[in-house]
Structure 1
């Protein structure tokens, strides 16, 4: 494949010739790291084989898009082209612009030791090696196949960072000046701070939100920083082969149970497309599963489901602005959402983006801005 023109096109889309990332983007063959991937379809996720159609492979590999490489416990590399699987994505080659954005937040300068947390395809480690040199880059993932495949693909392009198979929820293997996580966490683990060198910098996202946290280590072993104004969302860390199953039994209950009925003055909101609202809600009530749909009559519908058994169903009829809400379980999830929306209207924004971040040495993370604060 004559991939270099495609890589230049990707670099032009992601950055500019004066950026330190221009060189890594134009000289790293992303297609080597993603030979097979999954595309969504009506029946699930369908396996695509890159080498069988080089034009389509180049178009996909050098587009600024995420390519899903694992669904549930199934790696795309272990499938036959055209096979379809159901489940949730459990690994991917993240869109290059987001990879570069996270690395930029890390403020990588010559001589810093980087931990690229969540190897995935190995592409982020390859970019970092181009900038820092192999000896200064360590990358890790919980999945032994991913680390094996990434090692092989990195070797093919002449890159040899340290690749480790381990769980990010356990003690990290070494001391680093920068930790950049391409996977989200519910809170900052204390052992991440322990692995961060004095004055080191941490970049990560918070699970279930679109929040990027950057924080610099302080003399007491904690860290301070902020929630960045741009946004990102990554898969959450996992310890097993797959994530817990979706809340389908609770969804069935939420679809038929009358519950407690109220009327909202707001139309139905696709929460996960409203990043400020989604992030604020996830901080206040983490773990909500959101679903959206359309009724037979064309009405807009949304469901909120929580592992504690709480549920909400909301419907906005065609031509109407108010919404009928049904809720059940131990908590009223839609009421929490309504409080956030009222605050949003009253202040014209929510305090999550731009919030100050304070992390204690044991990982307790507090976000605060304009008189508002919450501790993860």
Structure 2
């Protein structure tokens, strides 16, 4: 495959001539790091084998899109052709423009020691090696197969960062000037601050939100920074082969029980497409599973499910603006959403983007802006 024209086209989409990342994107053969990936199917996911269809391989590898490489405990390298795999994505090769965004927020100046968290396919490590040199890049993944395979494929393209299998929530393998995470975190682990050199910088996203946090280490061992105006969302960090099972039993309850019935003045909202609302809701009530759909008559519907047993179901009938809401369990999740939507309308924005970030040495993280604050 003559991959260079494809990589040049990707560089034109994900960066621009003169950008620090232009040459890195043009000279990194992404296809050799992602040989197989999953695509959505009717009842799950099916695998695509790149070497078997080089045209499709080039088109996928050099598009500015995320390629899912692992679903549940099954890696695309191990999936059988024609097999349908069910579950949530648990690893991917993130879209290149987002990888570049995260690395750019890391301010990778010459000579800094980088920890790239969540190796995945190794693509972010490859770009960072091109920028800094192999000896200054360490990349870590909780999955032994991902780490080992990435090391082999990085070697194949001439890149040799330090590749470590480990948990990003535990003690980190060294001291670093930059920590850039390609996996989302519920809060900043204290171990990151311990491993961060004086004046060092960390970059991560917060689980269940579209928020990128950047923060620089302070003399007391904590860090201060802000929520960037860019938006991004990554898979949540995990410690095992898979994420907890979806709340299907609670979904059945939420779809059949009447619960407490109210009427909302707002039409149904696809919360996860409204990034400000979704992010603020996840900060206030983390862990909500959102589902959307339509009823038999075409009415728009949404469900909110939480591991504590709280649930909500909302339906906006065709042609109507108001919504019938059913709620049950220990908390009224839809009421929390409504309060956020009212604030959104009254202020014209929500305070999450651009918020100040203060991280204590133990990792306790507080976001604040315009009189609003929350602690993760």
> 1:48, 1:82 within 8 Å by CA — same for their partners in 2?
no
TM-score normalised per structure 1: 1.00
What pairs up with 1:68-79 in 2 under 5 angstroms? 68-79=68-79
In the alignment, structure 1 residue 102 sits paired with structure 2 residue 111: no
Deviation at 1:365, TM superposition (A): 0.4
Unaligned runs of 5+ in 1: none
Partner of 1:158: 158
2:15 is aligned to 15
What does residue 113 of structure 2 align with?
113
Match of 1:268 in 2: 268
1:294–1:300 contact (8 Å) kept in structure 2: yes
> What does the per-residue CA deviation read over 1:215-240, in whole Å, with 9 as the maximum and x for residues that have no partner?
00000000000000010000011001
Rounded to whole Å, the distance in 2 between the matches of 1:303 and 1:231 is 24
Q: Counterpart of 1:84 in 2: which secondary structure?
A: coil
Paired residue for 1:205?
205
Q: Does the aligned pair in 2 maintain the 1:147–1:164 contact within 8 Å?
A: yes
Q: Helix, strand or coil for the counterpart of 1:85? A: coil
> For 1:80 and 1:333, how far apart are their aligned partners in 2?
41
Q: Which moved more, 1:165-174 or 1:78-87?
A: 78-87
Q: TM-score, normalised by structure 2?
A: 1.00
Equivalent position SS for 1:303: strand
User: What is the rounded CA distance, in whole Å, between the counterparts of 2:126 and 2:76 in structure 1?
Assistant: 21
| CA deviation after TM superposition for structure 1 residue 171, in Å | 0.6
Q: Is the counterpart of residue 139 in structure 1 residue 143 in structure 2? A: no
**Residue deviations 1:134-161 (CA, integer Å, cap 9, x gap):** 0000000000000110000000011100
In angstroms, what is the RMSD of aligned CA positions? 0.4
1:244 corresponds to which residue? Answer: 244
Instruction: Name the SS for the 2:244 alignment partner.
Output: coil
- The ranges of structure 1 where at least 4 consecutive aligned residues each deviate by more than 6 angstroms after the TM superposition are none
Question: 2:352 maps to what in 1?
Answer: 352
Following superposition, the deviation at residue 82 of structure 1 comes to: 2.5
The CA deviation string for residues 250-290 of structure 1, in whole angstroms up to 9 with x for no partner, is: 00000000000000000000000000000000000000000
**Equivalent pairs, count:** 376
Q: What is aligned with 2:234?
A: 234
Tell me the equivalent position of 2:6.
Answer: 6
Does structure 2 retain, via aligned residues, the 8 Å contact 1:222–1:359? yes
Alignment-derived partner of residue 331 in structure 1: 331
Contiguous gaps of at least 5 residues in structure 2 = none
Does 1:312 pair with 2:337?
Answer: no
Q: Work out whether residues 300 and 317 of structure 1, in 8 Å CA contact, stay in contact via their aligned partners in 2.
A: yes
User: Are residues 1:222 and 2:227 paired?
Assistant: no
DSSP 3-state at the match of 1:349: coil
Which residue of structure 2 aligns with residue 32 of structure 1?
A: 32
Q: Secondary structure at the match of 1:125?
A: helix
CA offset at residue 79 of structure 1? 1.5
Q: Equivalents in 2 of 1:189, 1:158: separation in Å?
A: 33
Q: Distance in 2 between matches of 1:50 and 1:80?
A: 13
- Paired residue secondary structure (1:180): strand
1:343 is aligned to 2:343: yes
Deviation (angstroms), 1:80: 2.1
CA distance, structure 2, for counterparts of residue 321 and residue 122 of structure 1? 47
- Residues 306-328 of structure 1, C-alpha deviations (whole Å, 9 max, x = no match): 00000000000000000000000
Q: CA deviation at 1:20?
A: 1.0
